[in-house]
Amino acid sequence: MAFIDEIKRRRTFAVISHPDAGKTTLTEKLLLFGGAIHIAGAVKSNKIKKTATSDWMEIEKQRGISVATSVMAFEYNGFKINILDTPGHQDFQEDTFRTLTAVDSVIIVVDCAKGVESQTRKLMNVCRMRNTPVIVFVNKMDRNGKNPFDLMDELEKELNIMVRPLSWPINQGDKFKGVYNLYEHSLNLYTPSKQTISENVAIDDINSKQLDDIVGEQDAMQLREDLELLDGVYPEFDRSTYEAGQVAPVFFGSALNNFGIKELLDCFCEIAPSPGEIQTEERIVKPEEEKFSGFVFKIHANMDPNHRSCIAFVKVCSGKFERNVNYKHVRLGKSFKFSSPTCFMAQKKDIVDEAYPGDIVGLPDSGGTFKIGDTLTSGETIHFKGLPSFSPEMFKYIENDDPMKAKQLNKGIEQLTDEGVAQVFTNQFNGRKIIGTVGALQFEVIQYRLLHEYNAQCRWEPISLYKACWIESDDAEALDTFKKRKYQYMAKDKEGRDVFLADSGYILQMAQSDFPKIRFHFSSEF
């Protein structure tokens, strides 16, 4: 029975948002409430201040943004919480998309002044594709922003999901006095404090005179009117519709000032789903199965710069993962055992002896054993799906700037592209390496990390390309003819698969109509 209890107390979720909505700050405060850290860091590019726990890479501290997903685990009120803090910047959205395959629910952070932004919409589409349960946290209520009712309408329209407020603000900006918690029927008063956890005064009866005394007669009247209107407009909160991904509960607060976080966390622990079943290509895998299975959704090189090691992040899907036990690597068809699997607190790692469904385990990978999407099992051959590499949209030739460091450069390119930071293609015409990314900022990150983690200098040279697409055909002769005709535009990816590099949309369209027997793929999962 203990095994089932362990699964039920797991909560694995991602925090997602548009850049600057306060996602990493919220993650910090959740860790603070969970007792995992004692002082919350700021997500600012400032050398003196303590930086956020989840933004541990040097470039993240300098730029004040997240460029890689961080994993943090802690215990809270009998629950085991696994948070994945994702990059908000669109140039790193591929990392975020893959992370969403490894979580059971999501918290979306929305800035009360800016409302729903473009990146939030894209990420919500991914959640909708998988019916992932979503909670919305409206942040920065201590600043002036949109009317809460207007925000509710915007959330429903832009995110294409029904909402149900579970807390409601009393004013905002300078006049912000707190929130009424509709889930627990209590009032939480606002006292700003950036570093410590502030206590909130609770009032059970919304019609009591005590409310008038604390927030003032006018605000008390307004709150009662608002709550009456809410009950008329929104149906009662139903947990089953939330778990089905049809309704998003909404909370209000200020992550920077520790307000509204505890209410969010308490309610989240109660209503968020524990790990559920996952569809593989062969069958549905249930978490309570005895045999272990899991998949690699992320690889990170150089978490510890002193040891040139890669870590593969594995989401445990069923059974119990145990240290020093042989597990089958499905793609390689070999067995491996792991003497030092780790659990995470961002960059800090502790050896773990066992892990349950929902947990994220780090497996050391110095030999490049793992690729994103790999499956580990107790012996069964199954394949988890839904971890594609997308067709890049920006391309540059990568050249070695220091001939003495060719080996370091090659190793760096290999490890960073294994991480999924970018994709590398070798041009068949001239043998040059082309790096393809989703956004321009990735080129800067690659150059920075090659220099600081691998001591290798690279320079970028321009190349005019529109799209890279993987090609295949059942007709070997047609494929051969295509490759000969398009020799100048052919490349191989890391796996040795054929890739067609189209230099314009017109060329791609013509190729598709001239060669009907060739299939063109815009993601590597086919």
Average pLDDT of the chain, as a whole number: 81
Section 438-450 average pLDDT: 81
pLDDT greater than 90 at residue 491: yes
Which domains are assigned to the chain?
2-274 (3.40.50.300), 279-377 (3.40.50.300), 394-521 (3.30.70.3280)
Inter-residue contact 180 to 223 (CB < 8 Å): yes
Confidence of residue 388 (pLDDT cuts 50, 70, 90): low
Section 258-276 average pLDDT: 87
Confidence of residue 53 (pLDDT cuts 50, 70, 90): very low
The reported pLDDT for the residue numbered 60 is 47
Which residues touch 394 (CB under 8 Å, ≥6 apart)?
A: 436, 437, 438, 439, 440, 442, 443
At 387, is the secondary structure helix, strand, or coil? coil
Q: CA-CA distance, 358 to 14, in Å (whole number)?
A: 12
Considering only CA atoms, which of 416, 397, 406, 323 is closest in space to residue 362?
323
The reported pLDDT for the residue numbered 304 is 55
pLDDT greater than 60 at residue 33: yes
Confidence of residue 255 (pLDDT cuts 50, 70, 90): confident
CA dihedral 87→92→93→97, nearest 10 degrees, is -80
Least confident range from 37-41, 86-90, 255-259: namely 37-41
pLDDT greater than 60 at residue 479: yes
Residue 137, φ and ψ in degrees, nearest 5: -110, 115
pLDDT greater than 80 at residue 525: no
Q: Give the burial string for 20-55 (b: 16+ CB within 10 Å, else e).
A: bbbbbbbbbbbbbbbebbeebbbbeeeeeeebbbbb
The reported pLDDT for the residue numbered 217 is 82
The reported pLDDT for the residue numbered 121 is 83
Section 18-45 average pLDDT: 64
Q: What is the pLDDT of residues 68-111, one digit of tens each?
A: 456 778 888 889 988 886 664 454 556 667 777 888 999 999 98
Least confident range from 54-63, 113-122, 164-173, 450-459: namely 54-63
Considering only CA atoms, which of 307, 456, 299, 286 is closest in space to residue 363?
299
pLDDT greater than 60 at residue 189: yes
What is the DSSP secondary structure assignment for residue 170, as one 8-state letter? E
Section 350-356 average pLDDT: 84
Inter-residue contact 392 to 468 (CB < 8 Å): yes
Q: What is the pTM of this model?
A: 0.76
Which residues touch 259 (CB under 8 Å, ≥6 apart)?
A: 141, 142, 178, 179, 188, 190, 191, 192, 198, 253
Largest CA distance in the chain: 85
3-state secondary structure 20-82: CCCHHHHHHHHHHHCCCCCCCCECCCCCCCCECCCCCCHHHHHHCCCCCCEEEEEEECCEEEE
Burial of 509 (0-12, 13-18, 19+ CB in 10 A): exposed
The reported pLDDT for the residue numbered 202 is 63
- Number of neighbours of residue 191 by Cβ within 10 angstroms: 13
Inter-residue contact 135 to 150 (CB < 8 Å): no
pLDDT greater than 90 at residue 363: no
Least confident range from 34-43, 150-159, 198-207, 247-256: namely 34-43
pLDDT greater than 60 at residue 226: yes
Q: Tell the residue number behind the tokens 């201040």, with chain if given.
A: 49
Q: Which residue has the higher pLDDT, 48 or 77?
A: 77
For the chain, the residue count is 526
Helix (H) or strand (E) holding 459: strand 458-462
The reported pLDDT for the residue numbered 460 is 92
Q: CA-CA distance, 521 to 390, in Å (whole number)?
A: 10
The reported pLDDT for the residue numbered 194 is 54
At 397, is the secondary structure helix, strand, or coil? strand
For residue 194, what are its two tokens?
Answer: 């950036």
Residue 229, φ and ψ in degrees, nearest 5: -65, -40
The rounded percent of the chain whose pLDDT value lies above 70 is 82
What is the DSSP secondary structure assignment for residue 446, as one 8-state letter? H
The reported pLDDT for the residue numbered 411 is 86
The rounded percent of the chain whose pLDDT value lies above 90 is 25
Measured at the CA of 189, the angle between CA 183 and CA 193, to 5 degrees, comes to: 115
Inter-residue contact 53 to 345 (CB < 8 Å): yes
What is the DSSP secondary structure assignment for residue 141, as one 8-state letter? T
Q: Tell the residue number behind the tokens 């209107």, with chain if given.
A: 229
Q: CA-CA distance, 282 to 359, in Å (whole number)?
A: 23
For residue 77, what are its two tokens?
Answer: 């009120």
Considering only CA atoms, which of 396, 492, 416 is closest in space to residue 456?
416
Q: Which residue has the higher pLDDT, 363 or 210?
A: 363
The reported pLDDT for the residue numbered 89 is 46
Q: What is the CA radius of gyration of the chain?
A: 25
